[in-house]
Amino acid sequence: MDTTVPAPDAQPVLPRAEWVKTLPQTIVASCVLFLDAEDRILLLRYAEGQPGAGLWGLPGGMLDHGEDPVGAACREVCEETGIVLDRPPRFLGYDHRADVKGTGPVIDFYFYGGRLPAPLSVRRSAEHDDDGLFALADLGSTELTPRLPALTALHTAALTGTVVCLREGLPR
């Protein structure tokens, strides 16, 4: 026999479609880390007029409606660098940031795109005005979109075949 008594001030259960509308919205993005033969990272600099103008970051961007993180990674790399991946990139990890510039939570998925051929030829989109290969040791004073500890952890994960979980750009 059920002896539970509903609380007099209990809120009615919302239908699923209505309940989903009450959940926080999260921006999801995919980024790809590439290394050259010297273990330097490919970074792109955001052009004037872009969010993050002057900052350096990995190729990548937000998912389109209905797109999965791997598909977004491949599309963004091609759009931003002209590099076409010949196989799906390997998952490196994720970063959860609670609030980015007042827009709410963001989850970034990170992938390893492999070794870049030499010489490197990058066909930048209008979103970026420069590209370069950087050793971690040379990034101390560089203005970055991912924090240096995040890039360091992702670099290590790419080299060791491991996965990294980040929170606010820091390894956990």
pLDDT at 45: 98
In a domain, 9, yes or no: no
Strand, helix or coil for residue 41: strand
pLDDT at 103: 82
What are the φ/ψ torsions at residue 77 (nearest 5 degrees)? -60, -45
pTM for the predicted model, two decimal places:
0.88
In a domain, 5, yes or no: no
Structural domain total, the chain: 1
pLDDT at 20: 85
Task: Evaluate if residue 12 carries a pLDDT over 90.
Answer: no
In a domain, 1, yes or no: no
pLDDT at 3: 66
* Residues of the chain above pLDDT 70, percent: 94
In a domain, 90, yes or no: yes
pLDDT at 120: 83
In a domain, 108, yes or no: yes
In a domain, 12, yes or no: no
Task: Evaluate if residue 65 carries a pLDDT over 70.
Answer: yes
In a domain, 3, yes or no: no
What do you get for the CA distance between the two ends of the chain, in Å? Answer: 47
Q: 67: buried, middle or exposed (CB in 10 Å: 19+, 13-18, 0-12)?
A: middle
pLDDT digits (tens, 9 = 90+) for 98-153: 988 788 899 999 999 999 988 888 999 999 999 999 999 999 999 999 999 999 99
pLDDT digits (tens, 9 = 90+) for 71-90: 999 999 999 999 999 999 99
Q: How many CB atoms lie within 10 A of CB 144?
A: 17
Strand, helix or coil for residue 154: helix
* Residues of the chain above pLDDT 90, percent: 76
Average pLDDT over the chain, rounded to an integer: 92
CATH of the domain at 82: 3.90.79.10
Handedness of CA 74, 96, 41, 145 (dihedral sign): positive
Strand, helix or coil for residue 24: coil
In a domain, 159, yes or no: yes
**What is the domain range of residue 137?**
23-171
> Are 161 and 97 in contact, with CB atoms under 8 Å apart?
no
Identify which of 165, 68, 143, 73 has the alpha carbon closest to the alpha carbon of residue 112.
73
> Are 43 and 33 in contact, with CB atoms under 8 Å apart?
no
pLDDT at 51: 87
Three-state SS string over 119-145 comes to CCCCCCCCCEEEEEEECHHHCCCCCEC
